[in-house]
Amino acid sequence: MPQHRLDARSFSFRRGALVGAALLATASLGGCGTPESAPDTATSIATVPASTAAPAATSVLEATQGNTLGTAVLPPPSAPDGTWYLAANGARQVLQVTANADRTRDATLADEATGAVRACADVRWDAASGSLRFTCETASGSAVYDTVVVGAILTGRFAQTASGVAAATAFDAHVTGWNSTVLDTSTVPRVFSMHWSDGRQGTLRIDREAAGSDVLVGRIKVVALVGDASAEDAERDLSDVRWDGVRLSFTVAVGSVPWRYEGTAAGRLLEGTATATDGTSATFRAERAEVLTHGLTPRPPSVADVWRSGTRRMLSRLLMADAPAPRSTTVTPLGDDVAPFVATPFPGRDDDTSQPQAYTLRELRLDHALADAHGSGSLTRSMHVWVATPTTPAPPRGFPVVVAVNGHYGSAHAVMDPSSMYWYGDGYARRGYVVVAVDISHRPVDERHGLYADLIGGDDPGNGNGTHPAIASPGFDSDFEEDGERVWDTQRALDYALSLPGVDRSSVLVTGLSMGGEVSTLAAALEPRFTGLVAAGFSPDLAVMRFHGNHPCWRWAYADNGEYVDVSDLHALVAPRTVVIETGAADTTYSFFTAPFASDKQVLRRSRAAFAGPGGGRLTHYLHDGAHVYRVGDPSMTARGITVPQLIAPATDADVAWELSALTRIEPLSLFDLTVRAPHR
C-alpha cells in the first residue's frame, strides 16, 4: 500500500519532473506552450543580416566531439523475428516474421481492423545493417517495405506498386512499429490507453510493487471525455491487481464506491467490463501505450542502465533516423565581440539583475554537412546561435556551460535579451556561465504533414529565427520527426559549446521554457553529454495533452508519441543526472483540472521511480506561485528560494488529496545552487 510521503530532505529528495510555469494566466496556450494571443505577422523566411562588424572569414569545426547516438554505435539486432505492431500511414497492421531452418524467412501482414491476412514474399534480412525488406500483397497490387530494425523498433518506408518493383522515389509512405516478442518477455510494466463506453478516455498503468516482487500495483486516470478536456479526473491507485499477460482484474475506489475491472488482452488490445458495487457498469476497450516505459517501480542500477541505453537508441531511431553526426560544421561569424543587450528586465524575472552583464556576445551561423541517406550527395543543415562568454577569469575547472533553448515566438536573441520572457540565457551569463543559445523554430508549412498551419514565418524571423527547412533528401520528405530535428540542433549546439576553450565539461546544462522545456527534456534524455536539465513550463501528461487543444508541434508525424513513451520516461532517461522541473501552480497550459499542477505532480511521481535509491541522482520539482514563466528562486531577490511540494504520493489507495495540495516548503537556494557542477554520468 502507498504510504504518505513528505519531501523531508527538501530539494535533495532524489526525484523530479519538469513542470510548467505559466506565462499568460488568461491566455490559452498551445501544446508546446504557445500563447494563442501572440501575433503571427511574419509571412516569409527572414535571413540573418550580417553585422557590419562581423568578420568575413569562416572557420571549420570538424565533428570531433562524436555523437553518442550515431549509427556507428548502434549494435544491429540479432533477428527481426516475432510479432510487430505497425503504423503504416495511419493504418494499423500486424507483421509476423518467422525464421526457417535454411535461414530464409516467411512473413504475413494482417490488417488489424479487418483481420485480413496477406502473404509476404521476398523477405530479406541484413543483420549487419539491420535492414528488413519484404513485399506483401494488397488489394490493388503489392506494397514493398524497406525498413530498419533497431532493438525492438522498426522504421522505414513503403511503396505501393502494381508490379512488385518500385523506384526509389516511390517509397513515399512511412511505417513505424514495435516488436512485442522482444518487448513483452515480462508481463509488466504495462500501459494501456483506455476508452470507456460512456466516452471517458484515460490511462491504465500496471507494474510490480518492487523489483523482484510478485505483488502488482497500478494506477488509472481519466484524462478527458470525448470532446471535453475539462472532464480530467485525479489519478487513482489500484488494489488487488491480477494480471498474467492475458487476463486482467483490479479494484479502484472512486470516492466511496469501489469498481471492479475484468478484462482480456488479445495482441496489443484489451477489452472488458467495469462494475461498481452499486450495480453501475461500463464496458471498456484499450490499446497498448508507452511500450518503452520505465514503469512505476525503481529498477536495480544495472537494469536501469540497460533500459536507458536501449531506449535512447530506439527513440533516436524514431525521432531522428539514428541522429547521424555531421561530417563537418562550418562556423561563420555574423557578429563578434558584441556588447550584451541592454533593456529593462522582464517583469517576471526573479534573479538579481544588479549582477553585471560581465560577458560578451558572438552571433554565429553553423552550417552542417550530413550524408544523404537516399543518395550519394550531401545535405546541409544551418543553425543560428548566440554565444555568451564571461569576461571574468575562468574558474580552475573552467566555465560551466548552458545550452539554452527558446520557446514559441522566441529565438536565441530573445534568450539573451533581458526584457524577453526567455531571459534565462542572460541570467546564466550574468552568473559566469558560457551560454550557447540556439534558435528553435518550425518547419515551412508544406513540410509539417498537415499537423498545424500557424507560425508561417517561424518564431522570431526579425531576429533570425525563421522557419527551419526539414532535413530531407531531394525528392523525399524527412526521415526525422520535427522534434527530432530540434533535438539534433541542440546536440550540435552542444558540440560547439564543448569545442570552446576553458569550459567545464562536468557542468553542462540544457534548459528552456515551454517549447524550449519540451526540446530540452528530449535533448537531455537522448544526449548523455548533458550533465543536467532545467525544464520550465513542460512536464505534461501526454494523454491529457492529446485532448487539451494544445499546439500540435509536439506530435510525431509517423508514429504516436504516446505509444512509445510519456514525459516521465524522458525524465527517467535523464537520471541519475540532475533534473529540475519548474511548475507554475496557476499554469493551465496543459491541464484544466481543478488544480492545474495535479497532472504535473502525477507525472513527477512516476519520474521519481528512476531517481530512487543510492546513486539515483537528484530530481527537484520546483513548484512556484507563478504561471508559464522561468524562475530561479534567487533568495536575494525573493527572500524565499526554491519551493518544493510537501505531498508527493498518496497515503492510501483511495487518497487523491496529495495531487491537489499546493503545500510547499522553502529551500533558501537558487536554481544556480542546485545545478552548478551537476554530477555527470
Tell me, what's the pLDDT at 592? 86
Q: Please compute the mean of the pLDDT values over residues 100-120 and round it to a whole number.
A: 94
Q: What is the model's pLDDT at position 674? A: 87
Task: Record the cell numbers describing residue 500, joined without a space.
Answer: 570552446
Whether the CB-CB separation of 490 and 510 falls below 8 Å is answered with yes
Q: What is the pLDDT of residues 636-651, one digit of tens each?
A: 887 789 999 999 999 9
pLDDT of amino acid 24: 25
Beta-carbon contacts of 280 under 8 Å, excluding residues fewer than 6 positions away, are: none
For residues 548-564, give the mean pLDDT: 93
Task: Answer whether residue 677 shows pLDDT above 80.
Answer: no
Confidence of residue 535 (pLDDT cuts 50, 70, 90): very high
Question: In the chain, which residues fall in CATH 3.40.50.1820?
Answer: 10-68+323-675
Tens-digit pLDDT profile for residues 652-667: 888 999 999 989 999 8
Decide which of 2.60.40.10, 2.40.128.120, 3.40.50.700, 2.60.120.1440 is the CATH code for 190-289. 2.40.128.120
pLDDT of residue 36 exceeding 50: no
Hey, what's the cell of 198? 460512456
Residue 287 has pLDDT above 60, yes or no: yes
Instruction: Give the bridge partners for 121, in sequence order.
Output: 135
Q: Residue 550's pLDDT band (boundaries 50, 70, 90)? A: confident
The predicted structure's pLDDT at residue 32: 59
> Which residues are CB-neighbours of 671 under 8 A, at least 6 positions away?
534, 580, 622, 631, 632, 633, 634, 642
Superfamily of the domain at 73-183: Quinohemoprotein amine dehydrogenase alpha subunit, domain 2 (2.40.128.120)
Region(s) of the chain under CATH 2.40.128.120 = 73-183, 190-289
Band (pLDDT 50/70/90 cuts) for residue 14 is: very low
Choose the weakest-confidence range: 242-246, 253-257, 317-321, 612-616.
612-616
Q: Among 76-90, 91-105, 269-283, 574-588, name the one with the lowest average pLDDT.
A: 76-90
Secondary structure letter of residue 169 according to DSSP? G
CB 648 within 8 A of CB 664: no
**Stronger pLDDT, 71 or 253, i.e. the higher one:** 253
Instruction: Sheet with 578-584: list strands edge to edge.
Output: 59-62, 328-338, 359-371, 378-390, 434-438, 399-405, 503-513, 532-536, 578-584, 619-624
Beta strands in 226-304 (DSSP E): 235-243, 247-254, 257-266, 269-276, 281-289
Mean pLDDT of 374-397: 94
Question: 10-68+323-675 domain in CATH 3.40.50.1820?
Answer: yes
Cβ neighbours, 10 Å, residue 338? 18
pLDDT band at 221 (very low <50, low <70, confident <90, very high): very high
CA gap 270, 248 in Å, rounded: 9
Which cell goes with 361?
Answer: 556576445
